[in-house]
Amino acid sequence: MSFTTSQGKCIIFSAPSGAGKTTIVHALLNDPSLNLSFSVSACSRGPRPNETDGKDYYFLGIEGFKQKIREGAFIEWEEVYTDHFYGTLRSEIERIWAQGKNVIFDVDVIGGLNLKKIFGENALAIFVQPPSIETLEERLRHRSTETEDKIRQRLEKAEKEMSKASQFDVILVNDELETAIKKATVIVNDFVANS
């Protein structure tokens, strides 16, 4: 699957859960000079209490997600945990590029690397790294949305994900959020300006 270079650029943010990538992505989306539009991912799980279908994710359910796989509707997808699917719909990218905007992704590490391969030089892949696993654990516990089992699962996954950081174009350490947002803005601005 490939796209032509005239269609637009992609900025891919990936990180272990709790590293702060979503907060950084939202800050960048609020900067009109970057001309970004968020690529809403699809998933197989149900919405959490504060989430809206079509805004946070496209909540397809397990069978709905598998049907979209069979239809070839995804640019990339993966089964993150058993029956927990996430993916990028081709229609979502086409929608954003039709508006003349650059796509920004907030995806997990494997999804980010898959997108980097697909979009090649039109993509900038940024890995948001927590200062340490201990800080990450603290952030996950502070959320108070996860069970102890889920936190352990996420931390195990985070260690594997952090080993892939060097495969990204940029590693952005999120030690202090405001500083990380400023650095991300400069990096993204340089990338979209050099068309």
Q: What is the pLDDT of residue 1?
A: 46
C-alpha angle 57/188/194, rounded to 5°?
125
Pick from 76, 32, 40, 73: which is nearest to 59 by CA?
A: 40
User: Domains plus CATH for the chain?
Assistant: 7-193 (3.40.50.300)
Residue count (the chain) = 195
- Evaluate if residue 187 carries a pLDDT over 60: yes
- Evaluate if residue 4 carries a pLDDT over 70: no
| C-alpha dihedral (80, 83, 86, 87), degrees to nearest 10 | 110
Rounded Cα gap, residues 127 and 131, in angstroms? 12
Please name the residues in contact with 18: beta carbons below 8 A apart, sequence gap of 6 or more.
130, 136, 139, 140, 143, 154, 158
Query: What's the pTM?
Result: 0.86
Percent over 70 (pLDDT), the chain? 96
Percent over 90 (pLDDT), the chain? 69
- Evaluate if residue 5 carries a pLDDT over 50: no
Please name the residues in contact with 49: beta carbons below 8 A apart, sequence gap of 6 or more.
none
Q: What is the pLDDT of residue 195?
A: 60
For range 11-24, the mean pLDDT: 91
Decide which of 98 and 139 is more confident: 98
Q: What is the pLDDT of residue 108?
A: 86
pLDDT range class, residue 102, cuts 50, 70, 90: very high
